[in-house]
Amino acid sequence: MEKINFTDMGLGLSLSAFLVALTDLVFSLVSKRYDKPQNKVYLIQLGILKLNAVCGMVTTFTGQSKYTSDSAFAMLIVSRYIYFLTHALIPPVFFFYISNVTGRNFRRRGGGKKMDFLTDRFLLIAVAVNELIIALNPLTNWIYVFNENRQFKRCWGEFIFVYGYSAVWMAAAFIMLMCSRKFLSNSRKSAIVFCYIVGLAGVLLQLIYSKFRIEVFMETLGYTGVLLFVENEDDRMDVTVGTYNAAAFKLDIAAAVSNGIQTRLILVRNITCDEHRIIGSAESDYAPERAVAEYLGKLVGKHYIYSIGRGKLAAVLYNKTDSEALELAESVADCFGKTWESEEIKMRLDGRVLLVDVPERASTAEEVLYIADCPMPVGADRSVMSGSDLDWIVRRSAVEAAVRRGLKDGSFDVWYQPTYTIDKQLHGAEALLRMNDRELGRVYPDEFIPVAEQLGLIGEIDEFVYREVCAFLASHEPQRFGVGCINVNLSVTECMKSGFAERFTEIADRWGIQGKEVVFEITESVAAEDIVRISAVIDKLKSRGFSFAIDDFGTGYSNLTATLSLGAELIKIDKSVLWTSCKDENGGELLSASVKMVRAMHKKSVAEGVETEEHIEKLAKLGCDYLQGYYFSKPLPKDEFLRFISK
């Protein structure tokens, strides 16, 4: 049997390793994977492997017999020397690669801990010392030596400074990988484990047959697996926008948080364009997002940009100070409301920019996505929202959710606040809504009513209150203690919807409620153009016997004569008017003018926010008709209210 020709085989394997590494390199470059730190480290690895493969070829060529010429021997010495020096770099570089893939390397920059800094220094020194030991081999012969036959011989040092040293690095990288496995997709994890197994097999084979130049080839194969599954980020990409996708965002933010890295996110949301694209291919639908993503990419690097939903992008800033981050966010915000020009588009874009500190403001990717989904406050301008603005958005969104589930959950509750005549006799009550949400607890109407209005749910809610009031009146309990009527607040926009008057009349009919038992309160700020429509509704309900009150008088900006012409019998003077009347002279004038005007128009006035005896004296002097306020009672739950008025 012919003896295995290690020379030819070694040459072939080295050449293959070289060609495979070269192919990997070409692939990386062609697919433009060279921007990220991770990509760069990968390319360095390939470079080292190629150099090793070349050394391997030279070694096999020159080291085949003891009759080598002097020049060939010199080449052999040099190639072995370079091989050992560079091959020892592979494990630490691989470790560094893994620290990039798992996101741990960002610790070093911005927000890095002192401990990490020291660890880094220590690792660097370890690499330098080991390289120095290898570099000094011609003097020490610790690692290898050429015998008198010019043949290569391993020494004890190889097992410590090459194999032992590599094993420690690879083990450390493996532990790091295992600690971060949650943040890697399965294909990524498998590829790295594959790289380990193949590389290890190569090392073992070469350890047994030292002439069998298989190590570098196997390592190169392992790296090819890494190229296919780790460097190739197709699964992390959002092809429609050309950025990373939301899944990648979740993994990367989770990795950053778990590694204790502080990041700041520029969230760009509500990205819209002012016109529909005429060339309507599916892809151009995303032209606005693409344009913004491109801009963000130029600003902070395109591998830090994620598309996190329709019209939403996130840019992750790893090593920026507060002011740098704000400056960047502002420069993005400045571009909105203007025309954007890029290869793909020329159109006006709009969007809102948020700056979110992770983990201070949002400690998980889900929280960030929640902020990105929260409804934008009405009238928010284009300035960057950060810090406490974000709390506001989050709260607002939570209240929205609470309002949406409120009716279904039964978290709304109607409370009653008694009203009195000027000589302190019980007169009626105002129904005031309360919300006790399962998550937020008690929420006050000043907060949830505007939200309900915005969500278009106020109609249903007002109707719920009205039904409760009808049921309460139908029990005849309040009437027994002298409550003649109960006031129900109405949202003006809802009353103008068709069929409103008919529906409310029908409900009263069903409960057998008399018209005089219900007073509807509407706010003063009715727009002039709505006056005609609202008047029609009021007239219909008045013909059923209901009466009306103008609420919050003295706060609106509306057409006074128009509101007063609405046919309301009662005018509720806002509590702020009463309170300022006690503070300064002009306030006093406003209160007395209001009461006088109401009298002059033959209507009745109600003063809200009556808290002191002094208030009552003042109102009595002015000739106000009714009183409502904490002086008598705060709004109370139904049963407590009954107990209170029964006394």
Helices (H), 410-513: 445-455, 458-474, 477-480, 492-495, 500-511
Does position 489 bind Ca ion by CB under 5 A? Answer: yes
For residue 109, how many other CB atoms are within 10 A of its CB?
Answer: 12
Minimum CB distance to ligand C2E smaller for 192 or for 573 = 573
HSE of 146, CA atoms in CB hemisphere, 13 A: 21
Does position 552 bind ligand C2E by CB under 6 A? Answer: yes
Minimum CB distance to ligand C2E smaller for 183 or for 420 = 420
Q: How far is the CB of 487 from ligand C2E (least distance, A)?
A: 8
Distance CA 172, CA 174 (A): 5
Across the strands, what pairs with 421? Answer: 626
In the region spanning residues 160 to 199, those forming contacts with ligand C2E, defined by CB under 6 A, are none
Near ligand C2E by CB under 6 A: residue from 271, 355, 433, 492: 433
What CA–CA distances, in Å, run from 70 to 10, 49, 139, 479, 635?
22, 27, 20, 120, 105
For residue 617, how many other CB atoms are within 10 A of its CB?
Answer: 10
| 3-class secondary-structure state, position 316 | strand
Distance CA 455, CA 468 (A): 22
Interaction mask 513-552, Ca ion, x per CB under 5 A: --------x-----------------------------xx
Distance CA 371, CA 601 (A): 51
Q: Which of 188, 286, 308, 180 lies closest to 240 in space, CA to CA?
A: 286
Interaction mask 560-599, ligand C2E, x per CB under 6 A: ---------------x------------------------
Does position 630 bind ligand C2E by CB under 6 A? Answer: yes
Distance CA 559, CA 564 (A): 9
**562, amino acid identity:** A
Distance CA 13, CA 28 (A): 22
- Choices 101-109, 247-255, 284-292, 443-451 (CB under 6 A): range interacting with ligand C2E: 443-451
- Residue 628: name its binding partner from ligand C2E, Ca ion, none (Cβ under 5 to 8 Å by kind): ligand C2E
Does position 468 bind ligand C2E by CB under 6 A? Answer: no
- Residue 222: name its binding partner from ligand C2E, Ca ion, none (Cβ under 5 to 8 Å by kind): none
Q: How far is the CB of 522 from ligand C2E (least distance, A)?
A: 9
What CA–CA distances, in Å, run from 94 to 99, 256, 273, 472?
9, 20, 45, 76
- Residue 465: name its binding partner from Ca ion, ligand C2E, none (Cβ under 5 to 8 Å by kind): ligand C2E
Minimum CB distance to Ca ion smaller for 355 or for 636 = 636
Q: Which two tokens stand for residue 643?
A: 């107990």
Minimum CB distance to ligand C2E smaller for 1 or for 378 = 378
Does position 505 bind Ca ion by CB under 5 A? Answer: no
Distance CA 334, CA 376 (A): 18
Q: Which of 438, 430, 384 lies closest to 408 in space, CA to CA?
A: 438
Distance CA 467, CA 452 (A): 18
Minimum CB distance to Ca ion smaller for 62 or for 489 = 489
Minimum CB distance to Ca ion smaller for 14 or for 417 = 417
Minimum CB distance to Ca ion smaller for 233 or for 551 = 551
HSE of 423, CA atoms in CB hemisphere, 13 A: 0
Distance CA 594, CA 592 (A): 5
Distance CA 160, CA 138 (A): 17
Q: How far is the CB of 560 from ligand C2E (least distance, A)?
A: 18
Q: How far is the CB of 414 from ligand C2E (least distance, A)?
A: 7
- Residue 248: name its binding partner from Ca ion, ligand C2E, none (Cβ under 5 to 8 Å by kind): none
Q: How many residues bind Ca ion (CB under 5 A)?
A: 4
Q: Which of 122, 151, 134 lies closest to 86 in space, CA to CA?
A: 134
Near ligand C2E by CB under 6 A: residue from 158, 463, 517, 551: 551
- Residues 476/481/485/489 CA torsion (nearest 10 deg): -90
- Residue 630: name its binding partner from ligand C2E, Ca ion, none (Cβ under 5 to 8 Å by kind): ligand C2E
In the region spanning residues 392 to 431, those forming contacts with ligand C2E, defined by CB under 6 A, are 417
Q: How far is the CB of 629 from Ca ion (least distance, A)?
A: 11
- Choices 155-163, 364-372, 466-474, 486-494 (CB under 5 A): range interacting with Ca ion: 486-494
- Choices 145-153, 166-174, 210-218, 488-496 (CB under 5 A): range interacting with Ca ion: 488-496
Q: How far is the CB of 397 from ligand C2E (least distance, A)?
A: 20
Q: Which of 359, 365, 337 lies closest to 349 in space, CA to CA?
A: 337
Does position 111 bind ligand C2E by CB under 6 A? Answer: no
Near ligand C2E by CB under 6 A: residue from 180, 628, 636, 641: 628
Does position 224 bind ligand C2E by CB under 6 A? Answer: no
What CA–CA distances, in Å, run from 283 to 242, 287, 291, 349, 433?
11, 7, 12, 17, 48
Q: Which of 580, 531, 532, 537 lies closest to 555 in space, CA to CA?
A: 580
Distance CA 15, CA 12 (A): 5
- Choices 12-20, 124-132, 616-624, 628-636 (CB under 6 A): range interacting with ligand C2E: 628-636
Q: How far is the CB of 455 from Ca ion (least distance, A)?
A: 20
Does position 419 bind Ca ion by CB under 5 A? Answer: no
Does position 446 bind ligand C2E by CB under 6 A? Answer: yes
What CA–CA distances, in Å, run from 112 to 36, 467, 569?
19, 60, 69
Q: How far is the CB of 469 from ligand C2E (least distance, A)?
A: 9
Interaction mask 330-369, ligand C2E, x per CB under 6 A: ----------------------------------------
Report residue 370 CA to chain centroid gap.
5
For residue 504, how many other CB atoms are within 10 A of its CB?
Answer: 25
Taking a C-beta distance cutoff of 8 angstroms, is the pair 132, 143 a contact? no
Interaction mask 469-508, ligand C2E, x per CB under 6 A: --------------------x-x-----------------
The residues of the shown chain that bind ligand C2E, judged by CB under 6 A, are: 417, 432-433, 444-446, 449, 458, 462, 465, 489, 491, 551-552, 575, 608-611, 628-630, 635
The residues of the shown chain that bind Ca ion, judged by CB under 5 A, are: 489, 521, 551-552
